[in-house]
Amino acid sequence: MTTKQRVSYFYHPTCPLFYYGPSHPMKPHRMKLAHHLILTYGLYKEMECYRPHPASAGEMTQFHSEEYISFLSKVSPDNLRQFTASMQKFNAGDTTDCPVFDGLYEFTQLYTGASLDGAVQLCQNQTDIAINWSGGLHHAKKAEASGFCYVNDIVLAILELLKVHARVLYIDIDVHHGDGVEEAFYTTDRVMTLSLHKYGDFFPGTGHISDVGAKKGTGYSVNAPLNNGITDEAYFEELFKPIMDKIMDVFRPGAIVLQCGADSLAQDRLGCFNLTIKGHAACVAYVKSLGVPLLVLGGGGYTIRNVARCWAYETAVLVNKPDVPNAIPYNDYYEYYAPDYELHLGQDPTMENLNTPKMLESIRVDILQQLSDLEGAPSVGMQQVPPLFQRSESSDSVKRDRKPHAAELYDTVD
């Protein structure tokens, strides 16, 4: 792409303040770390920065069941006892990995609103790339919380993009399978999902290579199941790039949603891959280079200093500043980056790559064949486009800070 892509960045200062609990690995605080790096690297000057609107129940029930969203909006740590049956039904509470914490519903509203605002801007051609690091909660189901995820902002954003685009591609580079998104679009040929993930004795247990979609969607779910220790070269050169090249050939998406879960990095608290930040970001740079309207989302990531490093660097890549200094600029959370205070992250030399060249080739060949089989299939015609979803608050609720001072962007609720 020679023309400069417009980039919109969505951040709500309240979002990082929610707390899943002391022993829970999901720390929304990581978003604040990432945001402060983005500010102190000066990347905000290269983007339009927005405060997202909180998504309404009406927006969430475009995918989720009304009963489930009603439960999320009412349950709190103070009234748990009234909701014992519902908590079991919807897989929330202390016996699950989806606790009911203070402000849970507001948290879901904020990260979901940001993804929807990004999708709406892309639909209206107000931007080329929309970034929401608070989103990407890919495990949430229609009527069930799962894997730290409650509301599936990705599915909702894709539904928004489908109002304008005939075909949307979803790419998931989180270490976990993108099961909630795959399931939502398993039987349609209008959304292709590509997930590269650890498979075998690992959450959520789905994402076998033979899970390719069903009915009209047969062939449109793409899964690359991997073993521990995959490295940059194997991940990007052997799989991501050749698969993506083929997808662009056969599917020709009008928009792309990229989930950038950072738990696929080396040294993640829950993950088991061995990607460096440069390797992870190579996928982001590749997708950006396609020049297709792009929604970039966060996801997993449990060694929070590395999550912040990764998403700050990927923001730099998205605004054409991949050469930001490796020395972390001084910021409020500087001590998190001890002892080296560097942006980039090496791979773990003690970790063995259990993905043999033979296995990687077999995965690549199988997936390329699956995609080849779609060629010659009837192409997805442009369908009648329904009107854009009308928000009662209208898009005015998106507070726009045009080229703000860094100080204005620092959290006001510290």
Catalytic residues: 139
Q: On the CB side of 343, how many CA atoms lie within 13 Å of its CA?
A: 24
Is 97 annotated as belonging to a binding site?
yes
Q: Work out how close the CB of 339 gets to Zn ion at its nearest, in angstroms, rounded to a whole number.
A: 27
Q: Work out how close the CB of 139 gets to Zn ion at its nearest, in angstroms, rounded to a whole number.
A: 8
Q: Work out how close the CB of 25 gets to Zn ion at its nearest, in angstroms, rounded to a whole number.
A: 10
Nearer to Zn ion, 91 or 370 (CB): 91
**Distance from C-alpha of 339 to C-alpha of 76, rounded to nearest angstrom:** 39
Nearer to Zn ion, 137 or 316 (CB): 137
Q: Work out how close the CB of 88 gets to Zn ion at its nearest, in angstroms, rounded to a whole number.
A: 24
CA angle 200, 206, 207 (to 5 degrees): 90
**Distance from C-alpha of 92 to C-alpha of 69, rounded to nearest angstrom:** 12
Nearer to Zn ion, 157 or 250 (CB): 157
Is 118 annotated as belonging to a binding site?
no
Is 102 annotated as belonging to a binding site?
no
Q: Work out how close the CB of 302 gets to Zn ion at its nearest, in angstroms, rounded to a whole number.
A: 8
Is 176 annotated as belonging to a binding site?
yes
Nearer to Zn ion, 217 or 300 (CB): 300
Q: Which residue is nearest to Zn ion (CB)?
A: 300
**Distance from C-alpha of 255 to C-alpha of 234, rounded to nearest angstrom:** 26
Query: Cβ distance 153 to 111 under 8 Å?
Result: yes
- The contact set with Zn ion (CB under 5 A) reads 174, 176, 261, 263, 300
Q: Which residues pair with 414 in a beta bridge?
A: none
Q: Which residues pair with 258 in a beta bridge?
A: 171, 296
Alpha carbon distances (Å) from 272 to 139, 265, 267, 364: 18, 8, 8, 21
Q: Does residue 204 have a cis peptide bond before it, meaning omega lies within 30 degrees of 0?
A: yes
Query: Cβ distance 163 to 124 under 8 Å?
Result: no
Query: Cβ distance 214 to 197 under 8 Å?
Result: no
Residue with tokens 């997808």: 247
Nearer to Zn ion, 64 or 176 (CB): 176
Please give the annotated binding residues, written as ranges: 97, 147, 174, 176, 263, 302
Give the residue numbers of the binding site for substrate.
97, 147, 302
